[in-house]
Structure formats: C-alpha cells, structure tokens
Amino acid sequence: MEVSDHGTGLQTAPKHQRHRFRFDLEKVTPYLAIAPFYLLFLVFGLFPILFSGYLALSKWDGIGQIQFTGWTNLQRLAQDTDFWLSLKNTVLIWALGTFPMLFLALVLAFMLSLKMFKHKETLKALLFLPNITSVVAITILFGLIFSNLDGLANGVLHLFGLRSINWLTSPNWVRVVIASVNVWQYTGYNMIIYLTGIARISKDYSEAAQMDGANNRQIFWKITVPQLKPIILFTVMMSTIGGLQVFSEAQVLVPSGATPQGGAMTIVYYLYNTAFTNHQFGYGSTIAWGLVALIVLFSAVNWYVTTKRIQGVN
Amino acid sequence: MKLKKYGLLLGLALCASLALGACGKKNAQASQGKIKLSINYYNGAISKEAMANTKEHFSKYQLQFKQVPSNEDFDTKLKASFGSKAAPDITAINNNIEDYLPYKTKFVNLTKYGTKKLAKDYVTWKWDSTYADPDYQIAMPIDIGPKALMFNVANFEKAGLPTDPKQVSELIKTEDDYLKAAAQMKEKANLPMFLSAVALFEDREQKMTKGIFKNGELSLGEGQLKEAWDFAVKAYQSGYTLDVKLGGADNANAQQKGLYSAMNKASWAIADLEENGTKPGTWLIAKAPGQPSNTGGSYLAVLKTTAHPQEAAEVVRYLTNEKNQRANFKELSLFPTHKAVYDDAFMKTTNKLFGDEQYNPYFVDAANAMKYTESDPRSGTVQRIFEDQMQLIQDQNKNPDQAWADAVKKAKTID
C-alpha cells in the first residue's frame, strides 16, 4: 500500500513529466529492493493460488491433460462425508488444543508479571523454546510417548494401576494427542503475546486493587483478563487460522491408515492425501478452496465479535 | 511476519543458488565438453558401488547422480519436471510404474536401443511391467521385493509348531494352513499369529492375480479382493491379530519382543528386522504360503526431454546389469531382477540374524513364480480405501459388512 502510493505520487509530480523515459536510479532503487519478495510471491504465492483456483474446477492427475469439469468438484465436496468428518476432526482438535493452551498461556504470563518471580528472562526463554523446535521432531517424540504398546503415557497409567489407553488408534484420544502437540508448542508463544499486553496495562489498576485488599486471583480475573480482552481475541483468531490448517502433527503421528472416522484426518491431511497420494490434483484444489472459504467464514465471525466486543470494552 | 521472514530467506537462498548454479554450469561446460547426463534417484535405489562402476565405465560421459527424497513428493516433482529443462535425463521410478504407463510419450522407448534381446535375462513379470504396449518399454527394472514367511522361533516352539524352516514350509503351504497354524498359536501359546488385520489384508492384496480394474472398469479383482478381505476379517475376529499399526515404534517393539508370530515380508524387511534391534535367531525365514507375491522394487527410465537418448539408454542398461545388481544386493539388500545373479553363491547367502540359514531360495521361488498382473493407475487409491476401512474394523471394531459396503461405495467414485 505504502509503496504504490509513493510511486503514483512521484509520477504525477510535474517536474518529472518532461523526462518520462529518463532512467531515474533513485526512483527505481526502492522497487528493485522490494522486487525479490514480489517476484518470489508472484511465482510461489500468486501463481499457485490462481492455478489452484483453475484446478479446483478441473480434473488432473499431475501429468496428462487438465480437463475442465466445472462445478462437478464443488458438488462432490458438498456431498463428501469424508470432508465434513475431517472438518469435524479439525475443529475438535482445535478446540481441545486452543482453549486450554490460551488459558495456560494467560496464567503463565500473569505469573511471570508478578514481582515474586525471579529469573524472568530465563523462564520466558525456556517457555518459548518449544515454539522454535521442529514440529516433526516434537511429534515423533510425542508419538513415542503416546505409543499404544510401551509408551511413557501408558507406563505412567500402569504405575497408578490404570488400564492402558490406545492413544493413537482411538478417535477421541488421538485428537487429544494431536492437540497436546499444539499446546506444548504454542503455549510459550501466546504467553509472550500476553506478557506484552500485560505490560501495557497501567499499574494503577492493580496497585489500587491491592490497596483495596484484592489478592492475585482477584486481580487476574477482574483486571488482567478484562483489560487483555482485545489481545485474547487476537490470539483466538490467530490460533483459529492456524488450527484449521493443522497437518504435520496428524500426519507424523498417524502416517498410515488415518481415516476421517478414525479421528486423525484433518482437512489439510485430507487435501494432502487426495492431491499427493491419490494424485487427484483437481479435487485436492477444491478441498483447498473449501478450506479457504471456512477460514474466511471463521475470520469474519471473529472480526465481527472482536470489533463489537472491543468497542464494548472501551 | 512469519511469511515475510521466510520469503526473504527463501529469496536470498534462491538468488544465491541461482548465482552459484550459473557459475557451476559455465565452469563444467568450459572445462570438459563431455556429454552430460543427470540421474535422479532416491535413497536406497542404487548402491554407491554401482554408481562408481558406472562412472568408471562411462568415463567419456559426465554423469551426475542426484539423490532426492523418496517420499510422495518424489512423484509430484518428477511429474512437474516433465517437459521442462529441469528434468533429469534419467530417473528412478518406484513400484508405482503403472501411474506412468499411460504417459509413455514422456519417456524414451527403450526397445529402440536394443533392450528387447535382454528380456530373457530378467524376471519376466517385472520385465513385462515396464511395457506400455508390446513395442514400447519405458523403463528397466532395478530390483524387486519377493516375499517369504518370517516366523518367530520362540512363539512357534511354544505353540508346538515346527521351527525348522523346511518343516514350516511344508506345514504352512496354503492360506488355510496359515489360519490353522494361527489357531494353534492362539490355543497353545495364547499368542497372536499376525501383526494386524490391516497388515494381513495388505499381504493378501499383494497375492491377487487379477487387477482391481478390468478393461478400465472397477472389478475388485473379480472376487479376489473380497477373499482377501474375508481372510483378514476372519483372522481378526478369531483373535489371531495383535492389531498394532504397520510401521512405527509399536511395530518395531512387537517384532523385537515377539509379540506376534509370523509375517509375509519382502527380502528388504531383513534390513528392518536388523534396524529394529531384533536379536539373531529370534526370527527365521520359510516359504510364503499361498500365491507368490511381491512388494516394492524400482526402475530406471529415460525421459523424453533428454538430448542424448542413445547414451542415456546405454547408462540405464549398464546400471541394471548383472554386475551392478550384485553390488546393489551386497550394499543395500536390493533383491535382483537379473536372473544371472541367482547363482549358487547367491542361494547360499546367510545373515547372522538367521544363523546359518540359507534363506534366498525362498525369495527366488517367489520371484520366479510370480505372474504379471496388469495394474491401473487408480488401483492404489482404491486399495487404500479398502485398507482404511479395514483400519476402522481393527481400531474401532466397525461392522465388517458395513465397512465393505462403505468402501465399495467410495471406490465407485474414483474416476
């Protein structure tokens, strides 16, 4: 936005009109500087988006002719129970992961903002660490922890005399395991966001509350949470977009035999299988656009809620 | 933020690689002027020794071997490279060659370069699978994965079953024998015979002698797929399966501890047993029951875009010859397709994992007895639909009739 305004501004300046074709290094340099990103975006961003839009209305196995089939794929998508079950799995995994994670992040951020904790920077770094580790590596580790036969999780259950759980093959538990990978990885990230938010809350509120005899729990619920509302809604929105795209965790935990009824099939996993395992690139693209529509829908709801709610708070 | 950062990094990396790539190209061309051939392969498809042999033999060419990841992206990338300058001259193809047969024109017809007379040297069914039509061969076979029965010695002993491979081969000849032995295993040792319903079903699918499609129409192997299905369901319902997922930590664990007792496996599974930390002598190999079967095996093909089809075909012929297949077997346990390799020394191969057992004859038997089954590019997708439903039976005790009906319904939508 900024760049294009700048450009038109220069062009309309009368001084430059006489030398329309003169090469002006100063004018060109900013464009050159930003060119790599835009060129790459054109090739790896915009082109695939447009192409997948075309593929979504076609049938293509990746080599032969692309056959335009019109609305057939969309009709198939609407009737595809696997797609809707994958959506259900995705939403469940998102809900199972996001709400505990955000609450945990909020509590951690609040605790870190209290005066009684020392070594705050170290704690912040430690809690943020999972976010910069590779999701595949983490997931392999979680796969070992939750393996059906001899995993650590079942070992702990045995220790307490409980029966072992089929973590990775029971539809409900596999969703919990996938969600827990997310919780582990993104709690620290959201905590940092909340911490910056808490830093912006005026100390006057909590000091006044303390003078009136409020304890930390009351300060958390009555001051921190209401003041952080816009930021909480922002994190909910971001994790919704991220949560709808959950893939690696499911694919690494359940590399084969993942089914929509089995709980581990998410929308992106279904898309991936359709396009890259079964080589149905046309229908795969249709699923991708179905996902786009869902994200737009969720974002619209979020946007509506946030704008209304923020106005309400302020 | 994330996107921008990655975009920038990607941009920098791309610019750097373009610059470096351009330099490299210029230097190579300037200094040598030899015919240049690039060969894409995935890890484990060609041995280092075979590559060294080939480079030495064709010292007049400049051969560039490039290892690419062997995941699903391999096919996607290969397909994307068709017709582009980025395409290699020669590429490895995995055992999904049926995906490429309809697109024979993307490949050089190797029969034009004297491969027809080589037919007698190779395992027939594998050789036949490289033909798009009787006069158009798109690839040469590197290896195959004939299957034999691997059994857990301690479990067999516990169940009162024989433990000598020859006796096991005699006792378990048919699928019925296999189930009977499983019943005995359950009764006397209270141990499952098989890994899982899905593993058993997949094993039986590989034994099918008829295709999933017939003349382009869904035929489900004319009843053979249902037979395979019923077999797996019966074993599952009778409690002969451990029901652990194929591949992954649980499977390795189960093999190591002998939590199940028998599996039909390709020769390359020996490497898996080793990797999974199985102790020597815990598993032995016998002849597989029922129809001979195979799983896996790669090919080498020359892409139509090559500027040097003659030379590339020569290299493919050489890379798949007896000498190099021996090297592949020695280094990577790739089971040869060149029949001359099946000599006395090969038959007498032993592995410390199986003591002094000479197990190769069982694999060779399967390799020789196999017959070519025509395959449709959609077969894999349809089979996965059925395997997924079997997974639901295994994991959630789904009603098998319902599962079959659901699978058939979904299979019909694949076009």
Statement to judge: residues A299 and A171 lie in one domain: yes
- For residue A68, tell me if it sits in a domain: no
Residue in B12, B103, B247 nearest the CB of A64: B103
Please name the member of A151, A259, A276 whose beta carbon is closest to the beta carbon of B392.
A259
* Residue A78: predicted pLDDT: 93
Digit-coded pLDDT (tens) for B158-182: 999 999 999 999 999 999 999 999 9
The pLDDT score that the predictor gives to residue A293 is 94
Helix axes A81-113, A171-200, angle to 10 degrees: 40
Hey, what CATH topology would domain B34-144+297-341 get?
D-Maltodextrin-Binding Protein; domain 2 (3.40.190)
- β-sheet bridge partners, residue B263: B150
- C-alpha A136: how far from its chain's center? 16
Per-chain mean pLDDT for chain B: 90
Are domains B34-144+297-341 and B147-293+354-411 of this chain identical in fold?
Answer: yes
pLDDT-derived band at B2, boundaries 50, 70, 90: very low
Between CA B86 and CA A30 the distance in angstroms is 32
- Whether B196 has a pLDDT exceeding 50, the answer reads yes
Alpha-carbon distances of B271 from A257, B187, B274, B351, rounded to whole Å = 23, 32, 5, 10
A 10 A CB-CB count for A311 gives: 8
Q: Looking at the predicted structure, is the pLDDT value of residue B62 above 80?
A: yes
CATH number of the domain enclosing A86: 1.10.3720.10
Q: What is the mean pLDDT of chain A?
A: 87
**Same domain flag for A48 and A82:** no
Instruction: Give the pLDDT score at B69.
Output: 85
Burial of B238 (0-12, 13-18, 19+ CB in 10 A): middle
Number of domains in chain A: 2
Range in A300-309, B201-210, B259-268 the model is least confident about: A300-309
Mean pLDDT of all residues in B113-135 = 95
A217 within some domain: yes
Instruction: Report the candidate in B58, B93, B126 with the shortest Cα–Cα distance to residue B303.
Output: B93
A64, part of any domain:
no
pLDDT given at position B276: 85
Q: Do B380 and A276 touch (CB under 8 A)?
A: no
How many inter-chain contacts (A to B, CB under 8 Å) are there? 98
pLDDT tens digit sequence for B80-108: 888 788 899 999 999 899 999 999 999 99
Residues A167, A151: contact at Cβ < 8 Å? yes
Rounded to an integer, the average pLDDT of A44-64 is: 93
Q: Count CB-CB contacts under 10 A for residue A93.
A: 27
Q: Is B397 left (phi over 0), alpha (psi -120 to 50) or beta?
A: left
B132 Cβ under 8 Å from any chain A Cβ = no
Those residues whose C-beta lies under 8 Å from the C-beta of residue B145, and which sit 6 or more positions away, are B95, B266, B267, B268, B294, B295, B296, B297, B335
Domain ranges of chain B: 34-144+297-341, 147-293+354-411
Q: Which of A41, A143, A259 sits opposite B388 (nearest CB)?
A: A259
Examine the domain organization and report whether A34 and A148 are in the same domain: no
**Is A67 inside a domain boundary?**
no
pLDDT value of position A17: 52
pLDDT of residue A6: 44
Q: Is a pLDDT exceeding 60 seen at residue B23? A: no
Angle formed at CA A145 by CA A144 and CA A149, multiple of 5 degrees = 75
Six-digit token string for B193:
């015979």
List beta partners, residue B62: B36
Contact residues on chain A for B212, CB-CB shorter than 8 A:
none
For the cut 70, the answer to whether the pLDDT of residue A28 exceeds it is: yes
Residues A194 and A149 in one domain: yes
Same domain, A15 and A95: no
Subunit contact B79:A63, Cβ cutoff 8 A: yes
pLDDT value at A307 more than 80: no
| pLDDT over 70, % of chain A | 91
In this structure, the answer to whether residues A183 and A288 fall within a common structural domain is yes
Task: Give the DSSP letter of residue A223.
Answer: I
Residue A285's nearest CA partner among A294, A295, A276, A275 is: A275
Q: Where are the beta strands (DSSP E) in chain A?
A: 58-59, 67-68
A74: left (phi over 0), alpha (psi -120 to 50) or beta: alpha
Measured between alpha carbons, how far is B149 from B256 in angstroms, rounded to an integer? 17
Asked whether residue A79 falls in the same domain as residue A51, the answer is no
- Residue B140 confidence (pLDDT): 97
Structural domain contains residue A230: yes
Bridge pairing between strands B61-68 and B35-42: parallel
Q: Are residues A208 and A122 in the same domain?
A: yes
The pair of three-digit structure tokens given for residue B71, joined into one six-digit string = 């995941």
Residues pairing with B143 in the sheet: B336
Q: Is the ipTM of this complex over 0.85?
A: no
> C-alpha angle with apex B206: B202 to B208, nearest 5 degrees?
120
- A63 within some domain: no
Domain residue limits at A20 = 2-55
**Right CATH number for B147-293+354-411 from 3.20.20.70, 3.90.105.10, 3.30.360.10, 3.40.190.10?**
3.40.190.10
Rounded to whole angstroms, how far apart are CA atoms B53 and B327? 9
